[in-house]
A and B are shown apart, each in its own frame.
Chain A
Amino acid sequence: MTSGHTDGQGLKGRVKRNGLIFIILFVGLGLTLLRFTGGIGAVTNLSDRNPWGFWMAFDLLCGIAVSAGGFAVASAYYIFGFKRFHVYVRAALTTAFLGYFFEVIALLYEVGQPWRLVYPFFLSQGTTSVLFLVGLCVALYLAVLFGELLPALFERLGRKKARATAVRLAAPLAVIGAVIAVIHQSSLGSLYLIVPSKMHPLWYSRFMPLFFLLSSLFAGLSMVVVEGGLAHKFMRGCADDRHVRDADRAVPACGKGACLFMFGYFIVKCMELVASDNVGHLYTGYGAWFLLELAGGVALPAFMYFAGVRKGRTNLIQGAAIITVLGVILNRFNVSLVAFNYNLPAAERYFPSWMEITISVFLVTLLVIAYRSICSQMPILRTHENYEKEIQ
């Protein structure tokens, strides 16, 4: 079921790949040991002026943005009734679940005293903090995502009755999940509302919550396309023929959705640029960087999506999806690292250490391994043989 020989790779390729994975895991475990014996300072370049760095930007902001595919696809299928998306529901929910799960793992590295992470819920609720809202959403949404994946789990375990109940719960859970995810995605933008004096005016905006929500929607839908492409290339053994066929057919639907949200995002970004009187900043270095993010990371892939959907060219849509994901990652890095503390002298700015980046690579590797083993064990990219009749 899981084996690699259907992956279209030679023995040599697999040995090379497994060797690389082994090295990443080995170094990652070593650095983990260093983090928990030497403290955060032993592996990061964080300082009193730069308290949040690469982990916050990549593991949390980017990780959660691309995990939005789960709620976007589940909402499209269960709430808005777009049947095309059915093929992606389980894959996207699995990604979202793992994305959120590994966000929590990343938090264990990120906060100073991870064993106290339950304090905000049980001991002392800091309700004036946006971070409290973020934490609450992570905890609730993780539970909802688990509930949404129960049908697949019960199919694997052969529990018919339990599965029937879980299936009936799918639509209500999709509604609850969508509500929590909307609040969560926007609240990640709200995190930075508190630092108007520390952030470059081109990125600071009262509308950051809206920007984060909209961009997470197209990031999530694009990630679904990217991931579908990768899964069919490298995990063909986990998918059945119907899944591959339906997924290829559903690519334009994701493209349409992403294109629409990108159009809306582009408009509100431009409106805010004019409304907050920031056009003058465009003629600076930061302005050029901002334009690169907006033109290269949003306008260009939106146009590619549009052309790809019109002409029915799947590879153009897939290319657009990759650029979109990279564009949103660039945006999150810009907000949290480039625009933040922009007025400090260069010597006091932050640049990540190789160890921070390696720990993130380590966590992503663990996520991919988890995704592969879930897909090989559970009916995520295929229909379980007992329930084939249910799907028209």
Chain B
Amino acid sequence: MNRRKFLSLTSAGIVAATSPVNCRSASAAAEGHPEAAGVLHDSTLCIGCRSCEAACQSVNAAILPKPENYKIPEKPFYDRSVLATKRRTDFQRFTVVNRYDIEDRRPVHRKFQCNHCIEPACASACFVKALYKTPEGPVLYRPELCVGCRYCMVACPFFVPTYDYNNARNPLIYKCTMCVPRLASGELPGCVSRCPEKALIFGKRSELLKIAKERIAESPEKYVNHIYGEHEAGGTCWLYLSPVPHTLLDQPEVGNEPASRLTSGILESAGMTAGILSVLLGAVCFLGRRHKNGAAEIDGARASGGGAHTEVFEGDKEDGQ
């Protein structure tokens, strides 16, 4: 074994180790916690009254930062003209409703907030575990740990986490908590409790799925045959029914693979790579030095007429072919 052999082995090792070794099947969506809670939004029932926005604001007012020159709501909650402008959540509001005017039918309203994934990308991406999934369903945030790297915002396929960019002293991530304090005291999430049309239903995710499927089966002409959130990104606790394809409501196609599975392979292999590489590179380094020293000895032996080492030298050379 000499340096050249090791070189080929090493290069093979590097390629093997830096390639994804993600062999797990991604076909089956994650089951997650069977008892997890969620919300079903039926956009055929939603009338865009913004009651959920108002409720969310009043429930969460205490934890939202209130910088100067920043006014939420930009228009009072009874003013429905803002529905037509394409709004998104930010560090001042956890939810918004947008109106989508689609030809030949009455407008469709879509509610936007954290989807509380079964295997959240944000939690998987957080390098201090500030974001985490609870067995009860909500994806929660520990602000006291957050470094502000914003990798969660990069990772989230739904563009949910928002950041308080203009805060120099304590900038944090803001997103919907599924009203965890209210759930703890047996109340409904703010938005669900205030919905006058029952477009929002709170319950166990498994039961909500059943309801959604029944609704589609009962009136297939009313809905597209797709429950957004059933499989998206491995499944989310919020589920959506729509009369039009979900992509028309800015609900992107994100694939069914949960985020954690996209990176677990490479992370698991990192330790292995380090181990294999250190042995291989160490051996190359060591063998190279030994070879050099050996060659020096042989040169010395040759000069003094000794022939015993020559064979070793030749053999070594052959080994290297």
Count of interface residues, chain A, beta-carbon cutoff 8 Å: 68
Contact A194 B263 (CB under 8 A): yes
User: Using a CB-CB cutoff of 8 Å, which residues 165-198 of chain B contact chain A?
Assistant: 165-168, 170-172
- Contact for B125 among A36, A117, A130, CB less than 8 A: A130
Q: Is B242 part of the binding interface, using a Cβ–Cβ cutoff of 8 Å?
A: no
Q: A48-B162, A197-B157 are in contact. Are A124 and B259 (CB under 8 A)?
A: no
Q: Is A123 part of the binding interface, using a Cβ–Cβ cutoff of 8 Å?
A: yes
CB closest residue in chain B, given A115: B147
Interface centre among B129, B147, B150, B270 (most CB of A within 10 A): B147
C-alpha spacing A79/B129, complex, angstroms: 38
Contact B88 A195 (CB under 8 A): no
Q: Is A174 part of the binding interface, using a Cβ–Cβ cutoff of 8 Å?
A: yes
Q: Contact string, B296-317, partner A, CB cutoff 8 A, digits 1/0?
A: 0000000000000000000000
Q: A124-B145, A131-B125, A178-B281 are in contact. Are A38 and B154 (CB under 8 A)?
A: no
Smallest CB separation, B319 vs chain A (Å): 17
Q: Which of A141-149, A155-163, A181-189, A324-332 contacts B (4 or more CB under 8 A)?
A: A181-189
Q: A112-B171, A126-B127 are in contact. Are A49 and B157 (CB under 8 A)?
A: no
- Contact for B148 among A112, A127, A340, CB less than 8 A: A112
- Contact for B20 among A129, A130, A132, A207, CB less than 8 A: A207
Contact A39 B128 (CB under 8 A): no
Contact A194 B121 (CB under 8 A): yes
Q: Is A18 part of the binding interface, using a Cβ–Cβ cutoff of 8 Å?
A: no
Q: A39-B167, A81-B288, A213-B18 are in contact. Are A194 and B162 (CB under 8 A)?
A: no
Smallest CB separation, A246 vs chain B (Å): 20
Contact B19 A207 (CB under 8 A): yes
Contact A38 B168 (CB under 8 A): yes
Smallest CB separation, B290 vs chain A (Å): 11
Complex interface: chain B residues within 8 A of A114 (CB): 147
Q: A40-B171, A194-B121, A197-B254 are in contact. Are A119 and B147 (CB under 8 A)?
A: yes
Smallest CB separation, A113 vs chain B (Å): 5
User: Using a CB-CB cutoff of 8 Å, which residues 1-20 of chain A contact chain B?
Assistant: none
Q: Is A37 part of the binding interface, using a Cβ–Cβ cutoff of 8 Å?
A: yes
Complex interface: chain B residues within 8 A of A38 (CB): 166, 168
Complex interface: chain B residues within 8 A of A191 (CB): 151, 154
Contact B124 A129 (CB under 8 A): yes
Contact B151 A128 (CB under 8 A): no
Complex interface: chain A residues within 8 A of B260 (CB): 128
Q: Is B257 part of the binding interface, using a Cβ–Cβ cutoff of 8 Å?
A: yes
The A contact surface, by secondary structure, is helix
Complex interface: chain B residues within 8 A of A213 (CB): 14, 18
Complex interface: chain A residues within 8 A of B281 (CB): 75, 79, 175, 178-179
C-alpha spacing A40/B171, complex, angstroms: 9
- Contact for B274 among A127, A183, A197, CB less than 8 A: A183
User: Using a CB-CB cutoff of 8 Å, which residues 1-59 of chain B contact chain A?
Assistant: 3, 7, 14-15, 18-20, 22
Contact A209 B266 (CB under 8 A): yes
Contact A206 B270 (CB under 8 A): no
User: Using a CB-CB cutoff of 8 Å, which residues 163-181 of chain A contact chain B?
Assistant: 171-172, 174-176, 178-180
Contact B270 A133 (CB under 8 A): yes
C-alpha spacing A277/B158, complex, angstroms: 26
C-alpha spacing A129/B3, complex, angstroms: 36
CB closest residue in chain A, given B149: A111
- Contact for A194 among B22, B124, B278, CB less than 8 A: B124
Q: Contact string, B237-281, partner A, CB cutoff 8 A, digits 1/0?
A: 000000000000000111101011011101100100110011001
CB closest residue in chain A, given B232: A197
Contact A128 B19 (CB under 8 A): no
Contact A130 B266 (CB under 8 A): yes
Q: Is B282 part of the binding interface, using a Cβ–Cβ cutoff of 8 Å?
A: yes
Q: Is B212 part of the binding interface, using a Cβ–Cβ cutoff of 8 Å?
A: no
Q: Is B77 part of the binding interface, using a Cβ–Cβ cutoff of 8 Å?
A: no
Contact B147 A116 (CB under 8 A): yes
CB closest residue in chain A, given B7: A80
Complex interface: chain B residues within 8 A of A132 (CB): 127
Interface centre among B167, B262, B270, B288 (most CB of A within 10 A): B270
Complex interface: chain B residues within 8 A of A190 (CB): 263, 266-267
Complex interface: chain A residues within 8 A of B89 (CB): 48
Complex interface: chain B residues within 8 A of A79 (CB): 281, 284-285, 288
Smallest CB separation, B177 vs chain A (Å): 17
C-alpha spacing A112/B161, complex, angstroms: 14
Q: A113-B146, A179-B277 are in contact. Are A187 and B129 (CB under 8 A)?
A: no
Q: Is B97 part of the binding interface, using a Cβ–Cβ cutoff of 8 Å?
A: no
Q: Is B126 part of the binding interface, using a Cβ–Cβ cutoff of 8 Å?
A: yes
CB closest residue in chain B, given A214: B18
Q: A194-B259, A194-B262 are in contact. Are A39 and B277 (CB under 8 A)?
A: no
Interface centre among B159, B257, B266 (most CB of A within 10 A): B266
Contact B166 A113 (CB under 8 A): no
Q: Is B155 part of the binding interface, using a Cβ–Cβ cutoff of 8 Å?
A: yes
Complex interface: chain B residues within 8 A of A317 (CB): none
Q: Is A198 part of the binding interface, using a Cβ–Cβ cutoff of 8 Å?
A: yes
Contact A39 B166 (CB under 8 A): yes
Q: Is B199 part of the binding interface, using a Cβ–Cβ cutoff of 8 Å?
A: no
Q: Is B90 part of the binding interface, using a Cβ–Cβ cutoff of 8 Å?
A: yes
Contact B20 A209 (CB under 8 A): yes
Q: Is A287 part of the binding interface, using a Cβ–Cβ cutoff of 8 Å?
A: no
Q: Footprint of B on A, CB under 8 Å?
A: 35-42, 44, 46-49, 51-52, 75, 78-81, 110-114, 116-117, 119-120, 123-133, 135, 171-172, 174-176, 178-180, 182-183, 186-187, 190-191, 193-198, 206-207, 209-210, 213, 340, 343
A-B contact pairs, 20 of them (CB 8 A): A38-B166, A40-B171, A42-B166, A46-B150, A51-B154, A52-B150, A126-B128, A128-B123, A130-B125, A133-B267, A171-B289, A178-B277, A178-B281, A179-B281, A180-B274, A187-B270, A195-B155, A197-B253, A207-B19, A209-B19
With A48-B161, A126-B128 known, 14 other A-B pairs at CB within 8 A are A48-B153, A51-B153, A52-B150, A78-B285, A80-B3, A110-B149, A113-B170, A114-B147, A129-B124, A130-B266, A182-B277, A194-B121, A194-B155, A207-B20
Shortest 5 CB-CB contacts between residues of A and residues of B: A112-B148, A41-B165, A51-B153, A51-B150, A41-B166
